[in-house]
Amino acid sequence: MKRVLYTMAISFLLLGAQIKLAELRAQSAPTPAMKASAIQVLMIQSDEIKMPADFQISLYENLIQQLQKQGGFQHVYREGEHNAAGVTDLVVLHSTVRGFKKGSEMARNVTTVAGKTSIDVHCQFTDKDGKTVLERDLNGKVRFLGGNLRATLDFAKKAAKLSHDNFAARPVS
């Protein structure tokens, strides 16, 4: 009798744990917002945060490069491209800089622990009509090797992955 109760208690515990795990998995899994054949990247805005122009351009160019590199979208349009107007299932990426700390490559090389460069960017994905479909805060940082602009590449990789996980018509191979 004691053994039966013991087995039942363990079974209930395991069942509860499994249900909780399934819930957590469902929360963490990216919910497919919409599928788009093309994405348009707008120039990174940094109205509130003062950021050097080369960082702004590097963020924009790296983002386009990473989106093209990963595949999944038939077209990656730049800001202002006329051809994007004819695409029905277009998703538009608006990026706004929310935080910026320019570190020092020399400090990183000499001390290993100091001199980190970090950029916080708010990413907003909208459909063609301007309706928000996804919003997320991402960051880019460089801690050890490389120049300060390498933080922009780190952000671009994360943003490209986010775009693909949520909008790419063709899954990433």
Partner 1 sequence: MVFRSMQTATMALLGIVGFTAPPTVAQQPATGTKVVQFMGLEGVKAKSTGRLTLEGGNLQFTSSNAKANVPLHLIVDVVTGNDSQRVFRGTIGTLTMFAPYGGGRFLSLFRSKVDTLSIQYRDAEGGLHGAIFTMATGKADALKKEMVAQGAHTSIPIQDDAGSSDAKPAAAKEKKP
Q: Interface residues with partner 1 (CB under 8 A)? A: 43, 46-47, 50-54, 56-58, 60-62, 77-83, 102, 105-106, 109-110, 145, 147-149
Q: Output the smallest distance, CB 115 to partner 1, in A.
A: 11
Beta strand 75-77 pairing with 117-126: unpaired
Closest CA to 169 of 76, 63, 34, 41: 34
Q: Output the smallest distance, CB 86 to partner 1, in A.
A: 12
Closest CA to 172 of 69, 30, 93, 40: 69
Given the structure tokens 């202002």, which residue do they identify? 80
Nearer to partner 1 by Cβ, of 104 and 165: the residue is 104
Q: Output the smallest distance, CB 60 to partner 1, in A.
A: 5
Nearer to partner 1 by Cβ, of 128 and 165: the residue is 128
CA distance 153 to 161: 12
CA distance 96 to 103: 20
Nearer to partner 1 by Cβ, of 96 and 165: the residue is 96
Q: Output the smallest distance, CB 34 to partner 1, in A.
A: 24
